[in-house]
Amino acid sequence: MGYILAYEADLLGLIKENDLITAFEDGNIKVFFALWQEHIPVETNTVAQKLGFYLQIHFAIFPLKKNQGRITFCICYLLDRTDCEERISHFKTYLETSGAALSQTIEFLSFYALTFVPNPAAHPSIKEIFQESWEAELKMRLEKFLSVILKAASTPRLITLYVSFASSSHGRPHIGARGGTAPPWTCTSFLSCPSASVKIIDGNLEEVSATFLIENFPKH
């Protein structure tokens, strides 16, 4: 059962990651940030906060990229006024709210220019963000981040409890043969204890009962 839960957790993480990456590639700002807010612990994760700033930039300039160097925000209005206004408004709001602190740092300060310069793709301090290589690198960073954060978020609580249990300062467990005289917090005793529901396949935890973890967790 533990293996199935872990597999389902990984699958769920992959589905979430795929949805976010698809929205990133399509420039779907509403879908992306709805998923981002739902699945990513932005308030407590500084990496997510910085990555989120660059993602805001990506979506703000998305309509401009196909015609970079020849298009201004004014022309963007003529092509799709509603979309451009919403993106610019969204970015400005972000700069004034959740992104305010980061926007004052040296790393991000120059990106204020996106909201007022006539031709941002030609502006010396921010023109690099219109390059394909910049978007490709950002996508790679996003994929790596999601593969870690979503997998951690999807891990079943029972597995997390086991890892915490096994890492207890009361002992350093390792998978062993059935039986033996190991103390009750080691994996060896897991295998010999009647109250434990444990299956080990190729050295991996397959199933462990919550009751056993609670009853046998080392007492301080």
170: Cβ–Cβ under 8 A, 6 or more apart, which residues? Answer: 183, 185, 218
Write down the domain spans for the chain: 9-154, 157-216
Cβ atoms < 10 Å from Cβ of 117: 15
Decide if 15 contacts 151 (C-beta within 8 A).
Answer: no
| Position 214 pLDDT exceeds 60 | no
Sequence-distant contacts of 120-126: CB under 8 A, at least 24 apart: 120/61, 120/64, 120/73, 121/64, 121/68, 121/69, 121/71, 122/69
* Residue 129's pLDDT band (cuts 50, 70, 90): very high
The tokens for 84 are 């451009």
**pLDDT score recorded for residue 165:** 53
What are the tens digits of pLDDT across the range 56-107? 999 999 987 765 544 555 555 555 677 777 888 899 999 999 999 999 899 9
What are the tens digits of pLDDT across the range 27-37? 999 999 999 99
Q: Which residues pair with 199 in a beta bridge?
A: 207
